Amino acid sequence: MLSIKDLSKTYGNGVKALDGVNLDISKGMFGLLGPNGAGKSSLMRTLATLQDADSGTAFLNDIDILNEKEKLRQVLGYLPQEFGTYPRVSALRMLDH
């Protein structure tokens, strides 16, 4: 289970990307939808340990995402939409690499 409580992130330029996010997601497949600027990428980057949150907690099962980054990286993969890949290489070939 993914459990997020009061997760917040404000960038250095003052943009508040995450404002007290609370979310529980059970095992399964889910999508994250919202308009541009809603904080989807900020949330995903935070959960993937690519940036730090300012406050709050996030757990993936028993892993404290914000404080056990190396442990999380052993079980989590993240591929953002914009990721400098080669245009003619299929997703399957990239995963196989």
**pLDDT (tens digit, 9 = 90+) per residue, 12-62?**
999 999 999 999 999 888 888 999 999 999 999 999 999 999 999 999 999
Query: Regarding predicted confidence, which is higher, 8 or 82?
Result: 8
- Supply φ then ψ for residue 55, to 5 degrees: -160, 170
The overall longest dimension of the chain from CA atoms, in Å, is 41
Name the pLDDT band for 88 (thresholds 50, 70, 90).
Answer: confident
Mean pLDDT of 67-88: 81
- What is the Cα–Cα distance from 96 to 30, expressed in whole angstroms? 24
Cβ–Cβ under 8 Å, residues 49 and 77: no
> Domain locations in the chain?
2-96
Q: Which tokens hold the place of 25?
A: 């997601």
- As assigned by CATH, the class of the 2-96 domain is alpha beta
Residue 8 has pLDDT above 90, yes or no: yes
Give 91's Cβ-side CA count (13 Å radius). 4
